[in-house]
Amino acid sequence: MGTVGDAANKDTNGSLAEKKPTVVFVLGGPGSGKGTQCANIVQHFGFTHLSAGDLLRAEQKSGSENGTMIQNMIKEGKIVPSEVTIKLLQKAMEESGNDKFLIDGFPRNEENRAAFETVTQIEPAFVLFFDCSEEEMERRLLSRNEGREDDNIETIRKRFKVFLESSLPVIQHYESRGKVRKIDAGRPIEEVFESVKAIFTPKNEKAE
């Protein structure tokens, strides 16, 4: 199977053209509700959900040679080198059999963003940005109860700092290109999803 981003298909003129998958980056601070809303989008709109954090945690638990490094980075709230994360994303995209992806929690810094663009030649269709106050995100993370090693107040503070210093500039990069769809994620789950649905529903299918 070819690498995502270099699948060759014939276009209407019969010449070889690249068939690129549709990618939506799903960004927002830790606990803003990215995973929760992605699960809803998958059900309604047929995307495959790929959470970079989930892929890294699975890689760590698989006994990979990068396991200890990944575990240490996650504990410190730091961003794992792009090479590792992009390989996991590419593999998951290839194995999915789908051509529409929600890439959740990636790109998390400028290095992630530039490397993904260079390696895959894929530009996101748009960037969904879940905007939420730190106070609310902290409350959610401390009551998530999924046994995540990074859901403790010390690591949460580090993750907030990395989000402000490294991830927000990525969102600003896409904002300046008109690609960001910002959602007030501080509301109840159902209300947030109403706003999400409006973004994913094609204009000609919206109620008058």
Ligand X SMILES: Nc1ncnc2c1ncn2[C@@H]1O[C@H](COP(=O)(O)OP(=O)(O)OP(=O)(O)O)[C@@H](O)[C@H]1O
Count Cβ atoms below 10 Å from residue 178 Cβ, excluding itself: 7
For residue 89, the partner it binds in ligand LCLUPRNS, Mg ion, ligand X, none, with Cβ less than 5 to 8 A by kind, is none
Selected binder of ligand X within 14, 147, 188, 202 (CB under 6 A): 188
CB of 17 to Mg ion, least distance (A): 35
Bridge-based pairing of strands 126-131 and 16-18 is unpaired
* x-marked contacts with Mg ion along 21-60 as a string, rule CB under 5 A: --------------x-------------------------
d(CA 74, CA 23): 25
What is the rounded CA–CA span in Å between residue 103 and residue 49?
Answer: 6
| Binding of ligand X by 85 (CB under 6 A) | no
CB of 15 to ligand LCLUPRNS, least distance (A): 36
Nearer to ligand X, 144 or 177 (CB): 144
Q: In what order do the strands lie in the sheet with 180-184?
A: 48-51, 100-104, 22-28, 126-131, 180-184
Q: How far is the CB of 176 from ligand X (least distance, A)?
A: 24
* Distance in angstroms (rounded) separating the CA atoms of residues 13 and 159: 49
From the list ligand LCLUPRNS, Mg ion, ligand X, none, partner contacted by residue 56 (C-beta under 5 to 8 A by kind): ligand LCLUPRNS
Residue 92 CB, shortest distance to ligand LCLUPRNS, in Å, is: 13
Of 137, 165, 138, 140, the closest CA to residue 79 belongs to: 165
Mask: binding to ligand LCLUPRNS, 41-70, rule CB under 6 A, as x and -?
----------xxx--x--------------
Instruction: Pick one of 20, 22, 36, 75: the residue that binds ligand X (CB under 6 A).
Output: 36
The answer for 29, left when phi > 0, alpha when psi is -120 to 50, beta otherwise, is beta
What CA–CA distance (Å, rounded) separates 197 from 175?
20
Which parts are annotated binding residues for a ribonucleoside 5'-phosphate? 57, 78-80, 105-108, 148, 159
- Residues forming contacts to ligand LCLUPRNS in the complex (CB under 6 A) are 30, 51-53, 56, 73-74, 77, 79-80, 85, 105-106, 108, 112, 150, 159
